[in-house]
Structure formats: structure tokens, C-alpha cells
Amino acid sequence: MIKLRILILLITIAFVVGAGYLVSLIARGYRFDSQTLNLRPRGLFVVTSVPNGAQVLINGKLESATNATISLPPDSYDIQLKKDGYLVWQKHVIIKKEEVTKIDAYLFPAAPSLSSLTFTGATKPILSPDKTKLVYGIPDSDKTDPDKVGIWVMDLADLPIGFSREPRKISDLDPAELDWQWSPDSRQILIKKDTNYYVLDISSQTFLISLIPLTPEKLSATLIKWQQDLGKKTDENMRDLPPPLAQVLKDALLSFSPDGNKVLYTASNDATIPNGLVSPLPGSSTQKEERNIKKGNTYVYDLKEDRSFLIYSGTVAPEVNLIKEASVSAAATTSDQPKNRVPINRKPSAFIRWFPTSNHLILAENNKIAIMDYDGTNQQTIYAGPYSYPYAVPFPNSSRLLILTNLGAGQDIIGNLYAISLK
């Protein structure tokens, strides 16, 4: 009787251990192969999409719909996501055994709608450094209501209920005679009129009659403070970078993604990014890397996965927060002016900025706007037609893209701000 109990106990223990081991193998991606009658290693492919419910085609064969987890043998696969009314998303991925490969796809409409946000003309729109506001001018013309002429600020972020979402006028200055630029904290705007400079607070309305020009000393102090604020932000972002990467980015024009996990930059010199700067993560991107950096090319480095991707070859500018060189030069008379000036805003043949998802980039070219994945793949044209390059600004909630265009009405016709729906 005792021997029988011991035997039952041993069988129970063996069953529990075996079942636990089997469960662990399944959890790691192993699946039963009916041909070999063995458990074979697999990888798990997790695919999600916005919007969800897209068809998932693997090597041209319909397998499932997003959002789903699919078990696949280790291999390389061509993935397509299709949904009626949306552009086809596609990418080549490599599935590794016992690893989870995750894809978060953002599907864009095949025929996005275009709606006007202004009707009396708009000039010189500039996005605030915090990406939530836009300053622009409404110029004086025969058809413009005089009360509309001036400098306006539009909130792009979703505001709480009870707060006005309408653009607000902050000055009656004629924008045709002005240049302007945001302060680093997105609360003020520096205005240049002829040889005079003014600072406007966006929370109030300032009329021309009450404007007081900044003295040379006050202008110099303001610009120096703004440069220092910009420098602090850059230093904060650069501080935690691996030293070899920080050296590569030392003199580059760069922009960190909204979540801070990636950096977009145009290389200022040839360089090589060493492997192993951070601990490798299972399920990291399997897209083609480029760690041999060439001067003038634009790249994205993923700080979490230690992956480097070539985004664009040619004359391109990543998004940077700029203070106009003309304004900076006004501070040149002071002996305590910082040595490193804020870079001049040049107009290259293409312009790249982050999309709010941090997984996509906006590529603005003449008569064309595209959105692509952060690794440079899956580039999709969102808008093709006349617009004032490079004004392609995303709303913070990713729902729309704002452009300035006169819809091909001619050079003498002032453009308006339009929103392109992305959902």
C-alpha cells in the first residue's frame, strides 16, 4: 500500500513537472509539428494597428486581423496590413525563436479630407517649441476685416471643456512688416519690426499703440537667456546618452522624439556608432541598420534598442527650435554673449519632423508630404499638391496635419491654414 502511494506521488510529481515544462515551452513559442511529431521552436508575432481590425497578410496569405498574436517559425516574412479606406502598410520582418516581435502600425486614410481652419489668409505660421500652439499672421488686404488684421495664436492641443478652442488675436500689428519667433518656453513671441524688437505675451492682447521697443540691453539679455534655456534643454537630453553617441551628435542638428526614446539628426561629420552601446532587448527591431554615419545624411537612433537607421540621403533639416540669426546678431555687442549661436534656419530640399506617436516621421518636400516609420520604411504620401513648404505640422493628438496652402490659386493669392484628417 505504501509503495503504491509512493508510486502515485512520483507519477503526480512527474506529471506536474512535465506539464509545467510543456507550458513553459508553449509560452516561449514552441508548437507541435504534425510532420515531425515534435515540438518545434517558434516566435510570437504581435501586431496591432490604429485603427484596429485590419487584415494581416503574411507572405501574401491572410492569417488574422489586428490586434492579434501569431505563432510563426523562425524566418523572414513580408507583412501587409490592409483595411478598406486606408493605405496599405507593409514591412519585411524577421521572426526569431522564443522571442516576441511586436509591430504597432498606424494606418493612414487613402483619401484624407481637407478642411479650412482660416478664411481670411494666413502668413508665416510657426509651431511652438512645446508643439501645442501655432502663431501666424492675418495680413491687411481689400477683402480683410480690419479687426482681423494682426498676430494670432491657435491652440492645437485638446483643451478641457469650457476653454475656447478658437484662435485668439494677440496684437494688431500688420504681419507684412514683421518677423517673429517663439520663446523656448512657448509663452512669448519675439517680434521684429524694421529695426525694433518687441516681446509679446501670448496670454494677453497688446496693441500697437502700447508697444514699447526693447532697448539694446534688454534685447541682448532676453536673447542670451533664451539661448541658455535652449542649451539647458539640449544638455538635459544629451546627458544620458552613451559617450560614443554623444560624440557623434556633438555638432549635429538634432531633435528628440516626443517620448525621448529616439533622436533624429543630420550628421555633421562622418562617424561610426559602435555596437553594444546599450544592453540588447529581445524582440528589438529587425530592420536594416546603418551605423556608418555619413556627413549630410539624416538618421534616427533608437536609444532603447541601440539601433541606427538611415532616414534620408541629401539636403534635409531635422526639426530644431530656432531663434532667427538676425535677432541673435542684435546681442552681439555684449561681451557675455554665448559662443555657440543658435543655428540659422535654412531652407533645404526636404524637412523632417517627429509625428506625435514617436514611431513616425513627417517628410515635407515641395508639393508632397509623406509620413514614414521611424526606421525609414513604409513611406506613405499623405498629401500631394501645392502648399507652402515646409509648413506641415501635426496636431498633438495625431488626428490631423496642418498645412498652409492657397490650393494652387496663384502666387498673388494668400494661402490659408488647412487641416488634413488622418483618421
In a domain, residue 252? The reply is no
| Least confident window among 32-41, 269-278, 408-417 | 32-41
| Least confident window among 6-20, 45-59, 141-155, 267-281 | 6-20
In a domain, residue 295? The reply is no
Residues 144 and 42 in one domain: no
Q: Could you give the residue ranges of the DSSP H alpha helices within 240-315?
A: 243-248
Which pLDDT belongs to residue 326? 36
Q: How many domains does the chain have?
A: 2
Residues 101 and 118 in one domain: no
CB of 117 closer than 8 Å to CB of 417: yes
Domain endpoint, select from 106, 122, 141: 106
**CA–CA separation, 112 and 394 (whole Å):** 14
Is residue 18's pLDDT more than 80? no
Residues 51 and 157 in one domain: no
Phi, psi of 286 (to 5 degrees): -105, 15
Residues 123 and 67 in one domain: no
Q: How confident is the model at residue 379 (pLDDT cuts 50, 70, 90)?
A: very high
In a domain, residue 300? The reply is no
Is residue 278's pLDDT more than 50? yes
Q: How confident is the model at residue 26 (pLDDT cuts 50, 70, 90)?
A: low
Give the residue-averaged pLDDT of 255-266.
92
CB of 137 closer than 8 Å to CB of 175: yes
In a domain, residue 182? The reply is yes
Domain endpoint, select from 106, 133, 157: 106
Which pLDDT belongs to residue 232? 83
Residues 164 and 57 in one domain: no
Give the residue-averaged pLDDT of 126-155.
88
Give the residue-averaged pLDDT of 280-294.
86
Q: How confident is the model at residue 321 (pLDDT cuts 50, 70, 90)?
A: very low
Residues 192 and 120 in one domain: yes
Location of C-alpha cell 549630410: 296
Residues 222 and 350 in one domain: yes
Which pLDDT belongs to residue 31? 58
The one-letter code for the residue type at 94 is I
Which pLDDT belongs to residue 286? 84
Residues 217 and 154 in one domain: yes
Which pLDDT belongs to residue 423? 83
Is residue 364's pLDDT more than 80? yes
In a domain, residue 219? The reply is yes
Domain that holds residue 89: 2-106
Which pLDDT belongs to residue 206? 86
Candidates 345, 358, 291, 357; CA nearest to 319 is 345
Q: How confident is the model at residue 114 (pLDDT cuts 50, 70, 90)?
A: very high
pLDDT in tens, 32-88: 555 555 566 778 889 999 999 999 999 999 988 888 888 888 889 999 999 999 999
Give the CATH number for residue 85.
2.60.40
Q: What is the pTM of this model?
A: 0.82
**CA–CA separation, 77 and 90 (whole Å):** 11
Residues 130 and 174 in one domain: yes
Location of C-alpha cell 524637412: 351
Sign of CA dihedral 265, 266, 267, 272: positive
Residues 197 and 91 in one domain: no
Residues 92 and 119 in one domain: no
In a domain, residue 246? The reply is no
In a domain, residue 301? The reply is no
Q: How confident is the model at residue 142 (pLDDT cuts 50, 70, 90)?
A: low
Which pLDDT belongs to residue 374? 95
Domain endpoint, select from 46, 73, 106: 106
Residues 209 and 348 in one domain: yes
In a domain, residue 293? The reply is no
